[in-house]
Amino acid sequence: MEDLIIFRRQRATKGQWMSHESPRIKIEISRGTFVVFKKVADLLKAENRDAVMFAFNKKDKCAYIYKEEPEEDSYYLSKTGREYYRFTSKDLMLFFIDFFEIKKEKAVYFDVDSTPNEKGMFKLVPSF
């Protein structure tokens, strides 16, 4: 029995099976879908049909997400019945790809700071 090697399956930390213990959002590249996980929605105090928006800082190479009063060009969160919200915007997805120089992948995750800046925005940085 000492000659046996046992190899157990390990949960992946990237891609489809990334842990949601930390606040994150995901962009599903093929569809242009943004997934806002529950921890981020809780930070934003956002619920179904609330409006969110993104801001980008070229100098620091980061983005920000924040909840805003609904406007015509806002992104509206839709409840999925699971522990996340989503919305689709191919234009925003393409901007993220260009801004962060993302290689075409199936999905890309962004870590979200758990404390807002002085304007109430939460910083996003790629987790790749």
Task: With respect to residue 1, please indicate whether it lies within any of the assigned structural domains.
Answer: no
| pLDDT tier for residue 82 given thresholds of 50, 70 and 90 | confident
Task: With respect to residue 4, please indicate whether it lies within any of the assigned structural domains.
Answer: no
Task: With respect to residue 9, please indicate whether it lies within any of the assigned structural domains.
Answer: no
Task: With respect to residue 88, please indicate whether it lies within any of the assigned structural domains.
Answer: yes
What total of structural domains would you count in the chain? 1
- pLDDT mean across residues, the chain: 88
Task: With respect to residue 99, please indicate whether it lies within any of the assigned structural domains.
Answer: yes
Say what the pTM is.
Answer: 0.82
The residue assigned the tokens 């939460």 is 122
Return the pLDDT at 7: 64
Pick the more confident residue, 10 or 46: 46
Task: With respect to residue 26, please indicate whether it lies within any of the assigned structural domains.
Answer: yes
Q: How far apart, in whole angstroms, are the C-alpha atoms of residue 45 and residue 59?
A: 28
Task: With respect to residue 96, please indicate whether it lies within any of the assigned structural domains.
Answer: yes
Task: With respect to residue 3, please indicate whether it lies within any of the assigned structural domains.
Answer: no
* Structural domain span for residue 76: 15-126
Long-range contacts of 56-62 (CB under 8 A, 24+ apart): 56/95, 56/99, 61/100, 62/123, 62/124, 62/125
Return the pLDDT at 72: 87
Return the pLDDT at 95: 95
Pick the more confident residue, 96 or 1: 96
